[in-house]
Structure formats: C-alpha cells, structure tokens
Structure 1
C-alpha cells in the first residue's frame, strides 16, 4: 500500500493479493475456520483519495458500490466511533480490482481507508491499533496494512510478515461471475482440511529467499469454488493450453492465476488468454507496505 499526502488530502493505492497457499485446519468453536495461508500483494490496485470535509461522503467509479455497506464507508465510521472524530472526509474510490474475485479488493480498500484517515485526521494510531480495527472489518483486512509477503493464521487476521520473495509475475484471469466468500466457505467439507504443513514449507522456503515450487501449492477453497462456478475449471484448462505449467485459484475464486519468473512469459500467456476471449493481464509481485 502506498500513500501520498498533499495538504489536506491523501491518495492510497490499495493492492490486490493472491494466495500462494490457503489451508483450512478445521472449524473453530466461534464458527470461523482455522486457516494457514501465505499471501502476496500484486501490482493491481484500486485508487482511494480522501480529502477533508465536514461530513463523510463516499463515491465510487462503480456507482453500485457507493453504499454505506461498502467497507470504505464502514471503516471510516468505525474510526469516527472509536476515537470520537467529529470531522468528515470525502472519499473517492476508483475500482480496478474485480469485486468478489478472490483478490481481496474490498479488504484492501478497508485497510487503505484506515491508513488514509489515520493520516488525514492525524490520529497517530500505531500499526497494532490499526490491525485491531482492521480485524473488526474482515479477516483479510489486517494483511493489507503491511502487504508484501506474509503468513496469515487464526481466521486469517493474525499476520506475520515474511521476507520478500524473489521478483515474479502473475497472470491473472478474473471471471465475470462474482463468488461470495461466505458461500464458498459454506461449501467446504472436512475432506478439504489439511494439516498446515504445505504452508509451513512455503514459509520455510520464503525465509531462505526462495519460492516453493508451484507443484506444492494448495488452496482448500478451490474445490468448492469450482463446484459453485464450473467456469473456473474451463479457465484453468485455457491457461494450461496457453502454455502455463500451473493454474491456481486465488482465495475463494473465481480468479485463476499462474506465476512466472519473467515478464515476457507472463505477457505472452496473458495475450494468449485474451485471444481466447478472457480478460487476462500480467502484473508483478509488489512489496509496498505500511509499517
């Protein structure tokens, strides 16, 4: 996440993410699933601009998202309530990350709002306090306060930053039909559970500056996502036909992706997918973060 403050306005790039692993260990007493996941921010971002105002005003490039239920507005209201903030802000969101696509767009926007308003309103909140607030908005939101490469545990809200991975490129193939995260999690069965050892292995590799082979990556939500959206399987097949060695599902889907070492290879794959009628693009790993 990157910010630039100019006078009484702040501009934030709210980056998307992919899951290199997403393991579910089981269901907790509170109803959430216990997860182990390694996430990586990528060079696809929404743009959030906040400016001092008397009241909270939220607009979005997609008018259907400009509601009081949007995580941007909810994050602003949470900050006001927690710290007795009486001033407002005009918040303008330019969406580039597909909605309900498994890329964390809404969660990243929420984290960006916390960062931006913390600066605009001069709240001087430390990272730990921002993370506490972020966890109230969603399990993925705390991750986006640091970004880069990180291990997520608990229900996803407990974040341990990892050393930056070597530079890689991601070929993203978002699909038009959104998938609700709650719906996909609701379709998980014990057959999808694993021990967490795959994530432990990718963490160990990352701590030595390496990216674990994609043959080992696992996403517990891929099977239920494919069952709910069969077009995912077709997109994975198209990616493999184009020459990719692997085709993964990010988060709860339906976005399909692969990771390449070289930009040229990623761009070639994206072009091949575009020729088949898919909206595909190549973006790099990014490590912009807030500390």
Structure 2
C-alpha cells in the first residue's frame, strides 16, 4: 500500500476531535488537515454565525453603560506556569487561583491558560483587527466560568468562556518582561514539548485592571477548531508594547506539528452576521475629545469665512459707491 494512502487510512480511524488542522494552507497538509477556510468541513461549529475573530469597526460600535471595570484576582501572585507546544500554538497554563470578575460578566471566571498569535517575516499577526488594521501580535487569556470544571463543560454555556484580548504595538524599547516568555518558547520548539516558568506573575505582562476601563465586548467563538460559540470576548483599547527584536525572536522559536516554522498563527476575521459590538463607557469617553476639537476647528473655520465674506461685502458696497 502506498505510504500516503496508508497514513490517510490510519488518520481516518482517529476520533474527530483529534483531527489535524492548519492555520495556513501552504504546509502541504493532507486532506485530514483543514486550513481555516476548510475547518467547517471537519468541525461544523466553525461555520456558525457567531465566529471569531472579527474586524471591529469603531464607527459602528454601540456604547453600553452596563460594562463596568474588571477586577483581577491572583495577577500579582507568583506562580509556576507550564508551557507546552500544542502543535498549532504554545499554551501557558495558569492555576485556578488566577480569576476574573466584573466587566459585565456574571459570576467568577477562573483562568485556564494564555497564548499568543503572531505573524512572520515582518507580517502582522493579530487575530482581531481594528478598522481593518492588523497588529503585530495578540495575547489571549482564556477563563472558564466558575461552575464548570473544564472548557468542554463551559462550551455549553453561551458565556461559559471569557476571553481577554490584548493587541500589541511595536515600540523602540523592549517589553521588560517578555524575554522570559520568549526564552520559554525556545524550550518548547517541537510539538508536545513542555517546560516550566517559575515564579511568573501575570501582572508583569498585563496592565492593572484600573488602567483597563476601555474595551470592546461581543459574543463569539474560540478561534481554533472546534470554534465553540461560547465566548464573551473582551478586546481592550490599551495596547501592549513589543520591540521589533522581541517580535522577531518570538516567531523563530516554535514549530508546527508539521515541522514547519510556527508563523502566521491567526485565523482570518469572520463575518459579523448581525452581531453588535459594544464599547464600555470609559472607552467611549475618548470620542467626545475628538468632537471637541472638531467643534473648535469648525468655529474657527466659520469665523474666518464669515470675516472674509463680510470683508468682501464691504468691498462690493464701496465699489458701488464709486
């Protein structure tokens, strides 16, 4: 039997949940591996109407006064974090002592893990885009609603999973705490490998809650198969910094399960399909500032034009008198 045919036969016997998939189609995957445009064939939820990520059009978001600030629990604790190469991404497991409340969410959510999405070769790699702009990298912190003991249980609740998203912007200076993360990624280069970061504090990467009052909120899905539509998404306005050196280092660390370099680890944006993207009041507070400056400009402009028109009128009267 041809080896490739034999491999396909073996893979067809695997349970559906273990089916292989890719972020991109250029990795010469066999037919059991779905690039994002084909995920729905193997994972039906990936073709649903509440899929993520999305492009957030700021002119169309709706201000929601019922979106208060968050409260972070355990972000200052020093914990041991297990890092594992999952074949499509690297996950940083967090202990259940790291929790989340507030932000318009009902009840407590405990953290499960965080991970990053990036591009490659100077290509941006965030999953969410803002007004069509893709950012260099994106951090996701995955939380599970307190009554549930696993993601599998939480998937049956439309808001069973709370996902915090932070977009990165490139800066001239290094992020002071990302080198620890980069070093850990370098120790899990291959699929299945793992390492431990000792005495890790989430607050070293994520800003304090009192500086994160501005955010977007919408209902969506996980961004990897099976794309479970059980996520309350929060995309913060505040950007995290990363230097070009650190960004280049991150994309060189890991490899996919295919053995290819782990680059462009983002799902393309999905249709909004009638969903509403909300904005917290604190986030909307930036908008009146723009309006104030616009009003000032219009007042000055009108004053100048009015003065010019008046001057022209006087000139016309003077010419008529002559």
**Bigger radius of gyration:** 2
User: Same fold per TM (> 0.5)?
Assistant: no
- Higher relative helix content: 1
TM-score (norm 2): 0.21
Instruction: Give TM-score, length-normalised by structure 1.
Output: 0.23
